[in-house]
């Protein structure tokens, strides 16, 4: 069942979205850091936008 869910998410992302996924996940995790999260997440956000 888990495989089906992961496979459906991969299909929904498609080409560039799948490649940008590591940048997007890291950006989301960095934004959680209190105080400096936005500054730390900025390069990862730029990475994701460049790929998309």
**43 against 52, higher pLDDT:** 43
pLDDT of residue 14: 65
C-alpha to C-alpha distance for 23 and 26, rounded to whole angstroms = 5
C-alpha to C-alpha distance for 10 and 39, rounded to whole angstroms = 29
The terminus-to-terminus CA distance of the chain in angstroms comes to 30
pLDDT tens digit sequence for 23-39? 888 898 898 888 888 89
pLDDT of residue 33: 87
Angle, helix 37-51 to helix 2-30, in steps of 10 degrees: 130
Residue 49 reports pLDDT greater than 70 = yes
pTM attached to this predicted model: 0.64
Residue 13 reports pLDDT greater than 70 = no
C-alpha to C-alpha distance for 20 and 52, rounded to whole angstroms = 7
Nearest CA-CA partner of 50 in 10, 11, 23:
23
């Amino acid at each position: 069942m888990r495989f089906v869910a992961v496979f459906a998410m991969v299909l929904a992302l498609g080409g560039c979205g799948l490649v940008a996924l590591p940048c997007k996940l890291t950006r989301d995790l960095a934004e959680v850091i209190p105080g400096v999260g936005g500054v730390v997440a900025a390069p990862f956000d730029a990475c994701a936008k460049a790929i998309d």
